Structure 1
């Protein structure tokens, strides 16, 4: 079977520039790479064909020979260019593949390199601090000092990790790239350099204080502004207050996670507060005024309507929690719980029995319920 024209294989014109050829190869190699075409049995062969074409057309001498003699330039019959593909075999895959390795695998391996040495320093880790507040503190907001165990920059070496603050030197294993490559068949595998752990540099004389890390463990005291209205799950970010970076690298961030403790009187739902208030049977029957507490430490007078039942709610507008972002406040809801008296004296019992005898028409809900029950039993008998 006749071998396809190399220009046709890459999908470019014969007069294409080196950049156009490289761009076309990058596109074809991405499309046909076996790892992306596990369901296509022909992908590997096509991938090899594309590599072979690019290995010739990327080289000026080989390209000139191919343009003049075609495939015969490399089959030994025309005295063609040396080092080209022979007998229809694949080209120098390692050489061709290396030119666009980072472009092909950038999305798999965190992006290609920028061409220079890797950053000398690694960013510090982000830290989490759990802060527990009372509901009153969450209502008012506050300035709070917290102690955070973390890593800070070593002052003995100014964060370089080297004794006396000396600059690190380029890693001899990876030549400052932070990664090493290994050839496996026609694949080039890239791994983090084991000598410098990906930093691209090493410390020849480590600092005695930080042992070459450029940072030491220490507790830090931080003053944190807690805004009014925070609730459980609220996250506050303090940029640059996390763990110090390796060898002078930028610090991470500190994230404060808020937990608001349960309250003995109030229950919270977003910006609204709920307060269950017990009232006596007589107060609920006759009506009257009661005083209820508010979250700001004050008191509010609430009028109980005559004949109130358990579960009845009344609203105090604007007496709830402040919104975290905005000047509005939620509401406070009073829920009545009519309390049945206990530990009655003989006189109280006699009065209640007398009241019961006189209150046949004062319990409409009970009258309606038992009327429905009687109708249910009668229907069952029928």
Structure 2
């Protein structure tokens, strides 16, 4: 597509976000759409695969603040037919956008016909060179691979202690059948005679010369006469691979982990992208989590709470601990078993927070009932709600 067509492509519309959306909103929209149109969830659906690629392309631009600014600036410059001139152009002079974008030896600010370039190669060249990875007729440079999103579900114990899990990823990579050349095995591409291998051609528009991707080679600089049957000459194909990923100890539910360089492969020698793994942690029937500490509720009998004693408390994946209940332990009191919690980043462990719950039997009979009746008579003069009424009347 032409440069104008490229910048008029609405990436905000692709992700369904407003133009003033924050980075967090853009990433949230991307993750939602990526899950919906992922090839693994839409096997054999070519339209879903194309939509998945389009979503990834939009995220690559909008999630990077620098590339997003360049994209927005370029769209503004081309809005409503920007750079169009009539007759002889600007004062009858012919300008080559290769010089203009590349920041070559053209006029600097304040010179005749100037106002575009800046000393040292700045100006519009920074915008278009960064956005399209090119300037004028220079060949395309290395391009970083796309970031890849994935999810993993861990048990409560795995999240606390850490785990190594297999993770299957699907992303764009160099076609294995043709090694990224786009040509059928046994053949090689040839240099495009139209752009002479640069991947770009200049076309006149009024008094200007605008550099566009070469239509014959689609900007690659090479012509494939006998295309690869797998990638159909693009040199790129959807690749699935399974890798062992180490999830660190102490990870929490919904935490997002970044694994540098584990994303999609780069193009033309570019660095690979990153892998972002969102962790989901299954609930435990006994234990809970509060930061680096684990929590547990332990039932105790009324005599244990009133008279005191010792109780055994289970721990996560280890032997039980013994705690001492002081006489008169109130319902809901929390005690601490040190070093029995989740693993911290420095390798130490948090604590186990034990909350006491006084268990009330649903039915009482026999000697237990007689003993409780005697206890009620012995404490009849004590009103546990007396202080409550005093405070209520004082208010």
The TM tier, using the shorter chain, reads: 0.5 to 0.7
Change (3 A) 1:353 1:154: same
CA distance in 1, matches of 2:126, 2:257: 31
Q: Which residue in 1 is equivalent to 2:296?
A: 275
1:322-348, Cα deviation, whole Å (9 max, x unpaired): 113x12221121111222221223654
Q: 1:310 aligns with which of 324, 327, 331?
A: 331
Q: Is the 8 A contact 1:158 1:165 kept in 2?
A: no
The structure with the largest alpha-carbon Rg is 1
Q: How many residues align?
A: 294
Query: Is the aligned partner of 1:228 residue 2:246?
Result: no
**Matches of 2:344 and 2:275 in 1, distance apart?**
24
Aligned to 1:242, the other structure's residue is in SS state: coil
Which secondary structure state, in structure 2, belongs to the residue aligned with residue 109 of structure 1? Answer: helix
CA distance in 2, matches of 1:193, 1:353: 97
1:130 Cα deviation from its structure 2 partner = 0.6
1:165-176 aligned within 5 A: 166-171=187-192, 174-176=195-197
Q: How many Å apart are 1:182 and its aligned residue?
A: 5.4
How big is each residue's C-alpha offset from its partner over 1:169-202, in whole Å with a ceiling of 9 and x where there is no partner?
Answer: 4445655444555555566665555554443434
Tell me, what secondary structure is at the counterpart of 1:131?
Answer: strand
User: Which position in structure 1 is the counterpart of 2:95?
Assistant: 95
- Using the alignment, how far apart are the partners of 1:277 and 1:350 within structure 2? 27
Matched, 1:367 2:386: yes
Deviation of the 1:289 alpha carbon: 1.0
User: Gaps spanning 5+ residues in structure 1: where?
Assistant: 1-34, 37-46, 48-85
- How far off is 1:133 after superposition? 0.9
Partner of 1:40: none
Give 3-state SS (helix, strand or coil) of 1:369's partner. Answer: helix
Q: In structure 2, do the counterparts of structure 1 residues 362 and 247 end up closer, same or farther at CA, with 3 Å as the change threshold?
A: same
8 Å CA contact 2:301, 2:360 repeated in 1: yes
Residues 71-126 of structure 1: CA deviation (Å, up to 9, x unaligned): xxxxxxxxxxxxxxx9xx9534442765323443234335373553114x755433
Distance 1:348 1:334 in 2: 28
Change (3 A) 1:346 1:174: farther
Distance 1:292 1:118 in 2: 65
Match of 2:32 in 1: none
1:293-344 per-position Cα deviation (integer Å, ceiling 9, x unaligned): 11232211111111111221111122111113x1222112111122222122
> For the aligned residues, what is the CA RMSD?
3.9
| Alignment-derived partner of residue 331 in structure 1 | 351
Asked if 1:355 corresponds to 2:375, the answer is yes
Task: Look up the match of 1:237.
Answer: 259
Deviation at 1:215, TM superposition (A): 4.2
TM-score (norm 1): 0.63
| Cα distance in 2, alignment partners of residues 246 and 208 from structure 1 | 20
Partner SS, residue 294 of structure 2 = strand
* 1:204 corresponds to 2:225: yes
Report 1:134-173 matches (<5 A): 134-151=155-172, 153-164=174-185, 166-171=187-192
The question of whether the paired residues in 1 share the 8 Å contact of 2:150 and 2:278 is answered with yes
> Where does residue 106 of structure 1 map in the other structure?
125
Distance 1:361 1:321 in 2: 47
CA contact 2:293–2:353 (8 Å) conserved in 1: yes
Matching residue within 140, 146, 151 for 1:118 = 140
